[in-house]
Amino acid sequence: MQSTLRMFVFIVFFSIGAAAMSVSILCDELLRYYHNKQALNSAQESTERLKSLKADYEVLLEQFKKDPNFIDRVVPVTLGIEANEPNTVHPKATAEQLAAAKEALTTDANDKTTAFPVPDWLNRCSEPRRRAVLFVTGAILILISFMYFGPASRSHSAKN
């Protein structure tokens, strides 16, 4: 029973110490991983936006090829010129509607960039002083686990 308890305490102390030392050593790589993941996510979002724009422009080009009057309808809208066609209604957007649409578009874009945030514990562990303390405490835990809970040494009288 004592040997099982001793082995359990050894495993717990050694595991915690090894984990603390590993985090203190690999902190820069973990930060780099999270930053690279964020960059990858933003690049993928940009790629998706570009694909969407490309699809929209391909549809416009197809419509230009099929309908020669399409240019006459699109140019005033694109350039913001008042169309002078009789019997045509042109809706006007209010400033509140434009502001609401702009806010919806910007909040959607901002939410996607924080899809993979750096954890707070990693930011705290990346400080040089805390990294050093984490490394030293991990090493101390490993030493304690070997010194006090490692295999029991036989006494000299038992060997003779």
For the chain, residues with pLDDT lower than 70 are 77, 80, 82-85, 87-91, 108-115, 152-160
User: Can you give the pLDDT at residue 56?
Assistant: 86
Amino acid residing at 104: A
Q: Hunting for tokens 């990346």 — which residue is that? A: 126
Indicate the pTM of the whole model.
Answer: 0.59
Burial class (CB in 10 A: 0-12, 13-18, 19+), 30: middle
The residue count of the chain comes to 160
Residue-level pLDDT at 91: 65
What pLDDT is recorded for position 95? 76
What does the pLDDT read at residue 73? 72
Q: What is the pLDDT of residue 77?
A: 67
Give pLDDT, residue 50: 92
Q: Which amino acid is at 157?
A: S
pLDDT at position 143: 93
The span from the CA of 10 to the CA of 17, in Å, is 11
Q: Look at residue 27 in the predicted model and tell me its pLDDT.
A: 93
Instruction: Give the per-residue pLDDT at 69.
Output: 78
Q: How far apart are CA 140 and CA 144, in angstroms?
A: 6
Please state the φ and ψ torsions of residue 154, each to the nearest 5 degrees.
-80, 145
How high is the pLDDT of residue 2? 79
The reported pLDDT for the residue numbered 72 is 73
Specify the pLDDT at position 32: 94
SS3 125: helix
